[in-house]
Amino acid sequence: MKINIFIIIFILPLLALAQLKETEETFLVDDWSDGLHIFVGAGINHSKYRSDTQNNNLGLGVNLKTDVGWYFNDKWAIESSASVKFNTYHDDLIWDTLLTLGARYRIEDYYFRGFAGAGVLVVVLNEDEPTPNDNTKRIHMDGPALGLGFGRIKLTEAGKVWFIELNATAQEIRHRDDVAVDGQYPIAISSQAVNDNSTIYSAQFTIGVLLF
C-alpha cells in the first residue's frame, strides 16, 4: 500500500508531465539542456543482508531503474528514481524496490548522484521452507534507504545518449509482515517491528539510455 501511494502521488505525475514536455535544446554529454529528462537502464547487482545475528550473501542479481529529473544550470538535476532489484537466496526470490529523491551534479561528461527514500522488499518463500506460520508464503519488509552513485554519459555516432553508472545503497529494515496468499490476494497474518539492525547493502552496475 505504501509503495502504491508513493507511485500515484509522486512518480506518475512526473512521468505524465515529462511526456508533455518538449525540450527545445539538445541534451549533450557535457551540456545538459534545461527541463525534464528521463533515463532508464538495466544491469546487475550484488547484495548482502546483515543484522545483529546474521550475515547472508544474497549474491548476484538483476536490476532495473528509471530516473526522472529536472535539469537546470547545465550541471545540476533534482530527480525522483525508482529501482527494482531481483536476487535469490536458498531458492527464495527476493524482490526489492527503492523509491528515492536525490540530486545529481555533472563534471564534464561524468556525474555524481546522492539520493534517499524508502525501500519495500518482498521475499517469495520456497514451498519447502519451514516458517513460524505454515500459511506464510511471502515476507514483506520496509524501511528507509539511501545511496550514492557515480556515472558517465556517452554519445553514440548516431547521436543517442547513453550512460553507465555504479552506485551503492543501504536499506534499513524496520518493519515486517508475514503474508499468506488467499487465492490471488495477499493477506498479512502477522506484523512486527524489526529492531536487530537489519540492513540490505547493495552495489549496482547499470547501463541505460536517455529517453528524452
Query: What's the DSSP call for residue 28?
Result: B
Question: Quick one: average pLDDT of 21-37?
Answer: 68
Query: What's the DSSP call for residue 33?
Result: P
Name the most confidently modeled range: 19-33, 85-99, 180-194.
85-99
Comparing 25 with 28, the larger pLDDT belongs to 28
Structural domain including 81 reads 2-210
Whether 112 and 147 have beta carbons less than 8 Å apart is answered as: no
Domain CATH for 174: 2.40.160.20
Residue 96, strand partner residues: 85, 121
Task: Tell me the average pLDDT of the chain.
Answer: 83
Whether 122 and 142 have beta carbons less than 8 Å apart is answered as: no
pLDDT exceeds cutoff 80 at 1: no
Place of cell 501511494: 5
Question: Quick one: average pLDDT of 111-128?
Answer: 88
Count: domains in the chain: 1
